[in-house]
Structure 1
Amino acid sequence: MILWLTTFAFSIASALLPFLPIEVYILGAGATEAGVAASISLGIAAGAGATVGKVVWYELARRGSHSAWAQRKLAKPKVKEAYEKWVARMQGRPWYAAAIMFIAASAGIPPLLAMAAVGGLLRMPMWVFLPTVFLGRSLRFTLLFLGVDFALH
């Protein structure tokens, strides 16, 4: 239970602070616990923690989008063009937005931190954001835990 809670907590920290890679933590934690059930449980804990952390980024972007700083950034032509491109792609298309978010959460391309902020800026519905990030992250981390378990045990 301690490892599960530690994994959850470290995953939140990793989602908030990109210089704390969860993958390195998974290598160490996966080496201490053996078995498919433990790998799945720890993968879900890491996925849940990562989702909590990315919700913070989502909310910061959503709430800060009307700030003077954000408006100055959006006044720049390149930034405004990129922002408008994402708005055109994702607004009114929750399945497309969910697919992009799931790919970012599971594969890391585009980076999930950036996509969480984009989701907040575009006011992506939380009912789309939460499950796609949780499922994508849980899948990614469970597979990593299973890989470590397979390689070491």
Structure 2
Amino acid sequence: MILWLTTFAVSVASALLPFLPMEAYILGAGAASAGVPTAISLGVAAGLGATVGKIVWYEAARRGVDSKWAQKKLSSPKVKAGYEKWVARMQGRPWYSAALMFIAASVGIPPLLVMAAVGGLLKMPMWVFIPTVFLGRTVRFTALFLGVDFAIH
């Protein structure tokens, strides 16, 4: 239980602070864990923690888009055109939004931190954002934990 909670906490911190790579933690924690069920459980803990951290980035961007600073930036025709282009792509297309977010969450391209902020700026529905990020991160981190477990045992 301690390893699970530690994995969750490190994952939240890693999601908030991009200079703390979760993958480095997984190498160490994966070596300390034993077996497929533990690897899956730790993958879920890491996925949950990453989702909590990315919600913070999402909300900061969602609330920040209405700030005076953001509105000043959006007054630039070039910036506004790009913003409106992405809004048009995302609005009313939850499957498109979910696919982009899932790829970012599971593969890391584009970086999930950037996509979480973009999701907030474009006011992506939370009912799309949360499960997509959770599923993508859980798949990624579970695969990494299983890979470490396979390599060691």
Q: Specify the TM-score bucket, using the shorter chain as the normaliser.
A: over 0.9
Match of 1:125 in 2: 125
The aligned amino acid for 1:50 is: A
| Aligned counterparts, 1:96-111, within 5 A | 96-111=96-111
Match of 1:71 in 2: 71
Scaled by the length of structure 2, what TM-score is found? 0.96
Structure 2: gaps spanning 5 or more residues:
none
Asked if residue 144 in structure 1 is aligned to residue 144 in structure 2, the reply is yes
Match of 1:20 in 2: 20
Q: Distance in 1 between matches of 2:81 and 2:23?
A: 34
Structure 1 vs Structure 2 CA RMSD: 1.1
Shift of 1:89: 1.2
The aligned amino acid for 1:86 is: W
Q: Distance in 2 between matches of 1:53 and 1:34?
A: 27
Shift of 1:77: 4.2
Structure 1 residues 78 and 146, CA, compared in 2 at 3 Å: closer, same or farther?
A: farther
Q: What SS does structure 1 have at the residue aligned with 2:19?
A: coil
Match of 1:92 in 2: 92
Q: What SS does structure 2 have at the residue aligned with 1:43?
A: helix
What is the number of equivalent residue pairs in this alignment?
Answer: 153
Shift of 1:122: 1.1
Q: Distance in 1 between matches of 2:112 and 2:99?
A: 12
Shift of 1:69: 1.4
Match of 1:60 in 2: 60
Scaled by the length of structure 1, what TM-score is found? 0.96
Q: What SS does structure 2 have at the residue aligned with 1:18?
A: coil
Q: Distance in 2 between matches of 1:145 and 1:82?
A: 38
Structure 1 residues 76 and 152, CA, compared in 2 at 3 Å: closer, same or farther?
A: farther
Match of 2:33 in 1: 33
Q: Distance in 1 between matches of 2:83 and 2:17?
A: 24
Q: Distance in 2 between matches of 1:110 and 1:129?
A: 15
Structure 1: gaps spanning 5 or more residues:
none
Q: Distance in 1 between matches of 2:150 and 2:97?
A: 34
Q: Distance in 2 between matches of 1:71 and 1:11?
A: 33
Q: Distance in 2 between matches of 1:82 and 1:7?
A: 38
